[in-house]
A and B are shown apart, each in its own frame.
Chain A
């Protein structure tokens, strides 16, 4: 509207078109809405009459009216909203989304259940009611805005000498001179009307957008779904890791140990200076190496000690393997849900790896304790600090892992140290899956 070529462009006409459309829609909507209000209207009129209803009948009427409105209004509002969203494009170029869930089912019961419980539906009902109540006023004002300059402009053509004076809005015109004056005024009013029309249509469009545009809602629903599916994926992933670990442990590792053992025995029976001895010896060494590699691999997939002995023992083992001296205080009398244990374990594992790699720390302390439904694990080192989640993916990856089970991660690592990494993991599975 602020554009200087506004008056020459299509916007005034678009606004006019929109307002005309509004008037037509209003005409179409008023009868059915009135019909739906009929029970209540009848009730009110009876209540005001000299023969009021009994209390019971009044209750029945109230209920009938409520139900007819609750069921009927969405049936009107939903198609109206669809139409209005299309019409909105006439005066509002921004995209407008219905805030509805996408339904793939054609099952009518499901569709109705979803539609009647969606907040989008009830915002559309709100729009319908607003339109029915305020629409007439809007149309009245718009009509005045259009008719005033039109009448003023047309007055020179209507006025005839000697005929009765004609009414031109706020005055009566009897002579040609007066008519020309009115026409001039009308001409001046045309741009004002154009702006007013655009203003009215714009106000209407703004209200319509607020009530009919629901881009946020499906996004939020999808976010919840994505969060859940991520948690499911991670659970499945974790289960798969365990399965692989178990298979490798019970299968490949066991066989390899036995194979290596037999190679070791075979070597004993061979004379030392034969090629066979050399070959078996080499095979034995390679098999031993493979055993070590496989053990490391299996450990990385899912540590057996965690499954068997729980978090405190597994943390102790991690501490033992860390080149930096680590003290562990794990006060956890009970086992926790497997995903919580696994997450805590991998957080500490990654944290210790970081400490060993970057911090230059002389000592690390790990504490793990459970308070209510929350497992808190802290890794504290006296290194140089300055750990930054933005550098490298390690810390971000940890935060991701923690977030999956609705946990939180805190990191305090000022330059110069010390560094404290703290994770809080909810370990009440009922709460989590709810």
Chain B
């Protein structure tokens, strides 16, 4: 299920999803049609632009949040033109915080990563754009200042919903090393240690958000 008001991009995304074995049950161009289509087709995943007609502000997000309140099992990935932590927060707070993703629109062009992200969300993951994490890290001082640069990198990947194994592959280190980093991070942030990727993401995000400014 796909909602995007730019025709070219909508077709491009539809092609991409087809190519990777998703079946696009509906592709719509405004928030009202989005709600109707989701209600009619009951898709596994909703991929939507945040800025959509008719209001051209955050209509797509509003619709998605509403749909998720009604049905927390609906996986939603929202695409945003710019980083707005408020958007990410609203999305994660709708439902139980699982099966949601908040990505910058530009990420779709890294086709394989993007599709992998979609799959993670459908599988129950939580994904937040690395830029959001970067800004949150940028924003805060203590106790994040105590994190080493490597730990910050790992934290960003954790927030993106990667498993230890995936993080190890990305950073080209051993999985055990990643585990140690994650343990250190959680300890420094006074978060309960957990192996569950999702709960980890949520805990980290909640921490960053709760103590962040604005």
B109 at the interface (CB under 8 A from A): yes
Q: Mark B101-135, 1 if CB is under 8 A from A, else 0.
A: 00001101111100000000000000000000001
B84 contacts A305, C-beta separation under 8 Å = yes
A316 contacts B213, C-beta separation under 8 Å = yes
Tell me whether A261 and B16 are in contact in the complex, defined as CB-CB below 8 angstroms, given that A319-B213, A320-B139, A325-B141 are known contacts: yes
Report the minimum CB–CB distance from A258 to chain B (whole Å): 4
B16 contacts A308, C-beta separation under 8 Å = no
Residue in chain B with minimal CB distance to A325: B141
B39 at the interface (CB under 8 A from A): no
- Residues on the A chain within 8 Å of B8, using CB: 254-255, 258
Residue in chain A with minimal CB distance to B138: A320
Tell me whether A265 and B139 are in contact in the complex, defined as CB-CB below 8 angstroms, given that A304-B81, A317-B84 are known contacts: no
A317 contacts B139, C-beta separation under 8 Å = no
Residue in chain B with minimal CB distance to A266: B111
Within 8 A of A (CB), among B134-185: 135-136, 138-141
Q: Mark A242-267, 1 if CB is under 8 A from B, else 0.
A: 00000001100111011011111101
A65 at the interface (CB under 8 A from B): no
Number of interface residues of B (CB under 8 A): 33
Tell me whether A265 and B83 are in contact in the complex, defined as CB-CB below 8 angstroms, given that A254-B8, A287-B109 are known contacts: no
A295 contacts B106, C-beta separation under 8 Å = yes
B109 contacts A257, C-beta separation under 8 Å = yes
A325 contacts B214, C-beta separation under 8 Å = no
Within 8 A of B (CB), among A286-338: 287-288, 291-292, 295, 299, 303-305, 308-309, 312-313, 315-317, 319-323, 325-328, 330
Neighbour of A261 across the interface among B9, B82, B140, CB < 8 A: B9
Tell me whether A308 and B58 are in contact in the complex, defined as CB-CB below 8 angstroms, given that A261-B16, A261-B108 are known contacts: yes
B111 contacts A265, C-beta separation under 8 Å = yes
Neighbour of A309 across the interface among B6, B84, B140, CB < 8 A: B84
Neighbour of B109 across the interface among A255, A288, A322, A330, CB < 8 A: A288
B83 contacts A257, C-beta separation under 8 Å = no
A284 at the interface (CB under 8 A from B): yes
B13 contacts A261, C-beta separation under 8 Å = yes
Q: Give me the interface of B with A, judged by CB distance under 8 Å.
A: 6, 8-9, 11-13, 15-16, 19, 51, 57-58, 81-86, 105-106, 108-112, 135-136, 138-141, 213-214
Given contacts A299-B82, A320-B135, A327-B213, 6 further A-B contacts (CB under 8 A): A257-B6, A258-B12, A261-B111, A287-B109, A309-B86, A326-B213
A to B CB contacts below 8 Å, 12 in the list: A250-B6, A254-B8, A254-B9, A257-B106, A265-B111, A305-B84, A309-B58, A320-B83, A321-B138, A325-B140, A326-B139, A328-B213
